[in-house]
Each structure stands twice: as structure tokens, then as C-alpha cells.
Amino acid sequence: MVLLAEDDPAIADPLSRALQREGYEVKVVENGPAVLDATAEQRVDLLVLDLGLPGMDGLEVCRRLRASGTELPVLMLTARTDEVDFVVGLDAGADDYVAKPFRLAELLARIRALLRRRVPEVLDAGGVRMDLGARLVTVDGREIQLANKEFELLRVLMSRAGQVVSRDEILSEVWNDLESKTSKTLDMHMSWLRRKLAIASEGKAGSVHSGDGERRIATVRGVGFRFNAE
């Protein structure tokens, strides 16, 4: 879950909607004490923290979170543009910061980068196991060979198993050069990945049916793809 601590509805409402479109569960709080309460009561994967919160400012919230021993990633939002303020925010324990007004695409990219740091070395869901360090993938105990882009594509989907990952987000994370960022490229690699997963599940190529790959990686029309964790 992404906890968004922002008291300005003009920022909080559109940002919350954008995060939800990206497949994140979002909770919005409007003051500093509410941040501490929310992080104590439920699992939070990332905190987007406005510096100028009422009740307790973002710096103090961040200091208290770090004093409690939490390693929760914190992305700080600030209307202050002085370099000293950025340094103070980082010293308080923030992992990154974005100055207001910000571009939504940049903010979402920063959020994705922070969340990637929390991805474990081994991903295990739906009978598929990825050892990221060894670059080893097994399906129902059978090892499969994936090309580099297929491996990265599966990593992105499995790191958010059960969530919808947008096509744009996949293209941004898996392909770096703009010329390769096409829907045709993504669909082609997705087809190959699904087939390899299906072959491994069935044990032989001849028994693979068209729907086998879709069971693990579902297409969400008009949005993107979801790796089914069950």
C-alpha cells in the first residue's frame, strides 16, 4: 500500500487517482500524527510525505519513523526549492524528494524506483519461482530458460503479483531505448513468455493450449497485465 500524506486536495486527489490507475492501493492522510498512526496499524510499502503537513511537519514525521527503526521508503514532497531544505529532508531520513510543482510522470517513476528497492531476491507466486540473483526461473519445479527481456518482463509482473501493471509502466521498466517502446514489441515478448510458462506447466510443448499462458498472466483490456498469484 502507498500512504499519501498530503493536506492539499488539489494535489492529493489527482495523485491518489493516478496511483490507483497504476495498480497501487492508496490511503490518503492529511496530517502528521495520522501518518504515524497509519504506519503503526497496517502494512505500508511506501510513504509519499508532504513536508508542510499540519499537526506535525514532514521532517518530524520522518525523524520519528526512523527513530522507531522502520525502513519504510519515504518520498518527500516539498514546495521549498532551496538545496539546504533538500539536504535537511534527506538527513531526516527521506529516501528521495520531489519539488512542487512536479511532473506526474517523474513522480511515478521515482515511486517505482523506490518500490523496486524493496523487491526480494526471490519471487514466488502461482507456482513460478524467480531467483533474481541467480537469474533462475522454475515453473512447478521445472527450470525454464528465458531471454533477457522475457526475464525482466516476468520480474516486473511478479514483483507486483495480483496487481495490474500498465503497458506504459512495463515498457518504461523493461525497455530503455525509445525505439523499442512499442506495443507490438511488448505483445510479442508477452506471447513468448506466456508460451514458455505454459510449456513448463504442462511438461511438453504438444499439450499447450491457447489459454494456458493467460491463466498466469491475464490481459486487462485497455490497461495492461496482471500476474495471477494463485
The verdict on 34 and 76 lying in the same domain is yes
Mean pLDDT lowest among 46-50, 141-145, 160-164, 216-220: 160-164
End-to-end, the C-alpha distance of the chain in Å comes to: 20
What's the CA dihedral at 219, 224, 227, 229 to 10 degrees? -100
* Contact call for residues 97 and 107 (beta carbons, < 8 A): no
pLDDT, tens digit, for every residue of 115-140? 877 666 788 998 999 998 888 999 98
The verdict on 223 and 129 lying in the same domain is yes
pLDDT, tens digit, for every residue of 28-47? 999 999 999 999 888 888 99
Per-residue pLDDT band at 203 (split at 50, 70, 90)? low
Domain count along the chain: 2
Per-residue pLDDT band at 182 (split at 50, 70, 90)? low
Last residue of a domain, one of 75, 97, 116: 116
Show the cell assigned to 93.
531520513
pLDDT, tens digit, for every residue of 71-93? 899 999 887 666 556 677 777 88
The verdict on 110 and 134 lying in the same domain is no
Report the chain's mean pLDDT, rounded to a whole number: 85
Last residue of a domain, one of 93, 116, 139: 116
Last residue of a domain, one of 63, 84, 116: 116
* The amino acid at 94: A
CA distance 151 to 174: 9
The per-residue pLDDT for 177 is 53
Please state the rounded mean pLDDT for residues 160-182.
75
**Long-range CB pairs of 23-28, under 8 A, 24+ apart, other chains included:** 23/160, 23/163, 23/164, 23/165, 23/166, 23/224, 23/226, 24/163, 25/1, 26/1, 26/2, 27/1, 27/2, 27/3, 28/4
The verdict on 146 and 106 lying in the same domain is no
CA atoms within 13 A on the CB side of 46: 23
The verdict on 105 and 166 lying in the same domain is no
The verdict on 41 and 98 lying in the same domain is yes
Residue 5 pLDDT > 60: yes
Please state the rounded mean pLDDT for residues 40-69.
91
The per-residue pLDDT for 118 is 67
The verdict on 103 and 167 lying in the same domain is no
CATH of the domain at 177: 1.10.10.10
The verdict on 89 and 183 lying in the same domain is no
The verdict on 109 and 20 lying in the same domain is yes
The verdict on 45 and 83 lying in the same domain is yes
The per-residue pLDDT for 211 is 54
The verdict on 141 and 206 lying in the same domain is yes
The verdict on 112 and 133 lying in the same domain is no
Show the cell assigned to 78.
516539498
Q: Which of 173, 214, 183 is nearest to 197 (CA)?
A: 214
Range of the domain at 42: 2-116
CATH of the domain at 74: 3.40.50.2300
Q: Which residue has the higher pLDDT, 192 or 202?
A: 192
Show the cell assigned to 132.
533474481
